[in-house]
Amino acid sequence: MNDVSLAERRGNDVIFKVRDEDISVLYILAHELVSMDDVILAGAVQRHYLIDEYEFRVNTKESLDPFDAIRDAIDGALRNVREIKSLLSV
């Protein structure tokens, strides 16, 4: 990602500002996150259609740190991409 910054953190709720990135990457991460039992909410939104900036929010139960959840989601997404790549490398 080109530009990611932590906008807000309140307990197990974090919001990141993401610039100059395709929202599809955030959707993939959100998909991985919502499949986790201890993730309450994960999603991306573009605040204004003319500005290439998104907010990415993750909220987890007390038993899971949101940063750990994001790291696990990234690992899961990369694992899936590698599996697809290996299937195409026949």
pLDDT of residue 47: 87
pLDDT, residue 54, reads 96
**What is the four-CA torsion angle of 8, 40, 3, 75, rounded to 10 degrees?**
140
Contact status, residue 80 vs residue 86, Cβ threshold 8 Å? no
* Residues 1, 18: Cα–Cα separation, whole Å: 8
Architecture of domain 3-88: 2-Layer Sandwich (3.30)
Domain boundaries, the chain: 3-88
pLDDT at 89: 78
pTM: 0.86
pLDDT by residue for the chain (90 residues), tens digit each? 579 999 999 999 999 999 988 899 999 999 999 999 999 999 999 989 898 899 999 999 999 999 999 999 999 999 999 999 999 976
Cα(22)–Cα(17) distance, integer angstroms = 13
Q: Give the DSSP H/E element, type plus range, for residue 78.
A: helix 66-88
